[in-house]
């Protein structure tokens, strides 16, 4: 999948980091937030759904929206981009994958060393006691 020369060069690095965002999951069929025509923020305002203030104003709306998003994520699978990053991780010591995505597709594909900047949509946190629960 990757040229041996590239892998050899990458192995010499003290650390290697890849940063992913919505584009990698869009190929799996998930809508992005910022696409001008179909992005989720063209239909919804972030301040109405993705903030503590929104939750305080209308918790049911926020819970329903996140439940809809969790269902959308359940219907998709990792794509070649996700699996390519798994292969890099297998071959390169000290590889870290940093993602802005909350869809868990990197872990589903097999990535191990993943930092999820915006959390994971399958993990919710109680707003009172701050404990996590897997959905």
Which of these is catalytic: 57, 74, 90, 118?
118
Does residue 97 register a pLDDT over 70? yes
Position 50 scores a pLDDT of 77
pTM recorded for the entire structure: 0.82
Position 34 scores a pLDDT of 57
Once rounded to an integer, what is the mean pLDDT over residues 37-63? 75
Q: Return the percentage of the chain with pLDDT > 90, whole number.
A: 48
Does residue 92 register a pLDDT over 80? yes
Does residue 39 register a pLDDT over 60? no
Q: Annotated catalytic, 106?
A: no
Q: Please, which pLDDT band fits residue 15 given cuts at 50, 70 and 90? A: very high
Position 40 scores a pLDDT of 54
The domain segmentation of the chain, as residue ranges, is 4-134
3-state secondary structure the chain: CCCHHHHHHHHCCCCEEEEECHHHHHCCCCCCCCCCCCCHHHHCCHHHHCCHHHHHHCHHHHHHHHHHHHHHHHCCCCCHHHHHHHHHHHHCCCEEEEECCCCCHHHHHCCCCEEECCCCCCEEECCCCCCEEEC
- Weakest-pLDDT range from 67-71, 74-78, 126-130: 126-130
Does domain 4-134 fall under CATH 3.65.10.10? My reply is no
């Amino acid at each position: 999948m990757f040229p041996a020369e590239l892998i050899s060069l990458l192995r010499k690095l003290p650390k290697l980091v890849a940063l992913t965002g919505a584009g990698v999951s869009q190929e799996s069929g998930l809508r992005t937030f910022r696409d001008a025509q179909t992005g989720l923020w063209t239909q919804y305002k972030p301040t109405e759904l993705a903030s503590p203030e929104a939750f305080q104003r209308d918790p049911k709306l926020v819970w329903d929206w996140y439940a809809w998003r969790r269902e959308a994520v359940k219907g998709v699978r990792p794509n070649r981009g996700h699996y390519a990053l798994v292969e890099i991780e297998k071959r390169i010591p000290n590889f870290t994958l940093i993602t802005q995505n909350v869809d868990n597709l990197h872990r589903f594909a097999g990535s191990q060393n993943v930092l999820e900047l915006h959390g994971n949509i399958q993990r919710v946190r109680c707003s009172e006691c701050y404990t996590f629960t897997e959905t």
